[in-house]
Amino acid sequence: MFDINWQSVLDQLTYDPKNPMIFSTGVFLFLFLGFTFIYNLLGKNKTTTLRLLFVTLFSYYFYYKSSGYYFYLLLIVSLTDFILAYLIYRNNVRAGLTTEEQIRKRKLPINRLLLGLSLCVDLGILIYFKYTNFFGKCWADITGGHWDMLDIILPVGVSFFTFQSLSYTFDTYRGKMKPLTNFLDYAFFVSFFPQLVAGPIVRAKDFIPQIRKPLFVSKTMFGRALFLIMAGLLKKAVIADYISVNFVDRVFEQPDLYSGVENLLGLYAYCIQLYCDFSGYSDMAIGIALMLGFTFPKNFDAPYKSQSVTEFWRRWHISLSFWLRDYVYISLGGNRHGLVRQCFNVGMVMVVGGFWHGAGFNFLLWGVFQGLMLVVEKLYMDWRKKRNPNYHLMNRKGGLVGLTRMLLTFHIFMFSLIYFRSTSFENGTMMLTQIFSNFSPQVFTQWVVGYWVVAVLVLLGYITHLLPSKVNDKVTTGITRMSLVGQALLLVIVIFIVIQMKTADVQPFIYFDF
């Protein structure tokens, strides 16, 4: 009766490197429907362990569909940090160190060694897959030798789950939490699929207490989850993907073929593409987790509204910024050793953050630039505080002053993206040359006519980004108050729009490469 091509079905369920499974694909939506049905059935069972096992297995399968057989890395990281954190805790107990203050005052040498081992394993995996060819080529250039590039495929999300697992070891080492005694719980924490491949980076001390709570999703939680999932789909699959394929990629690949005004418009388009792509993923991850009864922290807070670079990094990729602050900046000494040392630590954190984004000098340059901007702001704030003790860069201004600060901060970030996005330093330099020496403003009208869909989507992206947060709250409330039929119909409309705007090939999330 039904002519089913089982080979085609099998192909859809196995890993395809050309079409990794992401939230905006039909395969994921289909699998997620089946997943939620079983998940909710298991949620009614008083045995939480079975539900956790099911989710963990699905998460490993999700990672397999995203990155092939590299799912074994999840197991290595999970086993290593689970065992090492337990050993660290046991050593502290045997030494009579039971409080965070006691542990802070007396760090056991053996625990330093165990923490170092955790760093070696987690960062060793990250360095091997992400930076081996980069360091090998650099060494060959320095010594005048030759480096044959190794065929190393970067596993999706390796930067995220290694950092997430490290937070557990660090927090146990610092006495901020007790380690788990059940490996399934820890495997669940590291592999939980909504944030596995592109964040947000969830802290162990925030997520682990939620793991064995009874499954509960209120109507308000469901309404907000639905809003976040739909908003993320529209951001990623409609705005980001369309403007990327139809304009941004073309400009950055050959900036010399476009006038200065088109290069500048390409920069503006890339800014909103980057935001919509990454915040779209974060929205969907947070929404899916919320639909499953788990709460994730906000990862983006309208960063282009920032009035200083310092504020920007408290609004952009919040989970990474605060991870770097807590585990790199504080480990380097933070602000405890004077202004000069503090400025050095701030700069180093941004260099690490830049290098985290990719193995290339363009990412290092971007990190150095962002670090310098933060240092300049810190020195300026210190100077202003001597004259006005109440001054702080985070004190937002209204009116023309506030608008000027916001536009200045945005354009500092935007121009820093030229080398961040460019495929080579030559292309980045060519883009700058075109903008400042071959601007040709008369081309703008032709661009609007020829790329009117791109223009509309870019404008829509910025408008929705700059809307007051209370607008989102009202939309969320409206969705929450809808009937289940109304919510389903709205979701169908969003999926229909996504299908109509969908590009021919699956466009992976930008941060999959990081």
Q: Give tens-digit pLDDT for 24-40.
A: 677 778 888 888 888 88
**What average pLDDT does this structure show over 14-20?**
71
Is it the case that residue 3 has pLDDT exceeding 70? no
Instruction: Look at residue 6 in the predicted model and tell me its pLDDT.
Output: 59
- Give the phi and the psi of residue 215 in degrees, each rounded to 5: -65, 120
CA 506 to CA 514: how far, in whole Å? 18
Confidence (pLDDT) at 40: 85
pLDDT of residue 87: 95
Q: How confident is the model at residue 153 (pLDDT cuts 50, 70, 90)?
A: confident
Local confidence band at 204 (pLDDT 50, 70, 90 cut-offs): confident
What confidence score (pLDDT) does residue 511 get? 53
pLDDT of residue 268: 95
- Residue among 172, 15, 215 nearest 83 (CA): 172
Mean pLDDT in the chain?
86
Range name among 81-95, 413-427, 446-460 with the lowest pLDDT average: 413-427
Residues 269, 461: contact at Cβ < 8 Å? no
Q: Please report, for residues 6, 14, 15, 63, 160, the alpha-carbon distance to residue 9 in angstroms, rounded to integers and kept in the order given.
A: 5, 9, 12, 19, 31
Q: Considering only 154-163, 384-393, 463-472, 497-506, which range has the smallest mean pLDDT?
A: 497-506
CA distance 409 to 112: 40
User: Which parts of 292-393 fold into alpha helices (H)?
Assistant: 309-312, 318-324, 339-357, 361-387
Residue 146 has pLDDT above 90, yes or no: no
Return the DSSP state at 334.
Answer: T
Asked if pLDDT for residue 154 goes beyond 50, the answer is: yes
pLDDT at 506 over 60: no
Domain segments of the chain as ranges: 18-137+152-215, 220-513
Give the pLDDT confidence of 304-363 residue by residue, as tens digits. Answer: 999 999 999 999 989 988 888 888 888 888 888 888 888 899 999 999 888 888 878 888
Q: Torsion angle, CA of 454/457/461/467, rounded to 10 degrees?
A: 140
Half-sphere exposure of 34 (CA within 13 A, CB side): 7
Question: Residue 394 carries which DSSP code?
Answer: T
Angle at 309 between CA 306 and CA 314, to 5 degrees: 65
For residue range 210-236, list pLDDT tens digits in order: 998 888 888 999 999 999 999 998 998
As a whole number of angstroms, the distance between CA 381 and CA 310 comes to: 11
What confidence score (pLDDT) does residue 1 get?
46
Res 514 pLDDT > 70: no
For the record, the structure tokens of 192 come out as: 């939980």
| Mean pLDDT for the stretch of residues 434-460 | 91
For residue 447, the one-letter residue type is W
pLDDT in tens, 464-484: 999 888 888 898 899 889 888
> In the structure, what pLDDT confidence band is assigned to residue 507 with cuts at 50, 70 and 90?
low
Strands annotated E in 156-302: none
pLDDT at 14 over 50: yes
The pLDDT value given to residue 267 = 95
Alpha-carbon distance of 27 to 19, in angstroms, equals 10
Q: Which amino acid is at 319?
A: S
Written as one string, the DSSP assignment of 204-226 is: HHHHGGGTTSPP---HHHHHHHH
If one compares 101 and 197, the residue with the highest pLDDT of the two is: 101
Told to judge if 357 belongs to the known catalytic residues of this protein, a careful annotator would answer yes
Which pLDDT belongs to residue 98? 84
Catalytic residue among 357, 392, 411, 465: 357
Q: With cut-offs at 50, 70 and 90, classify the pLDDT of residue 117.
A: very high
* pLDDT tier at 86, thresholds 50, 70, 90: very high
> pTM for the complete prediction?
0.88
List the structure tokens of 416. 């820093």
Residue 111: is its pLDDT beyond 60?
yes
pLDDT at 150: 79
In this prediction, residue 421 carries a pLDDT of 87
Tell me, what amino acid is at 247? F
Least confident span in 44-48, 198-202, 374-378: 44-48
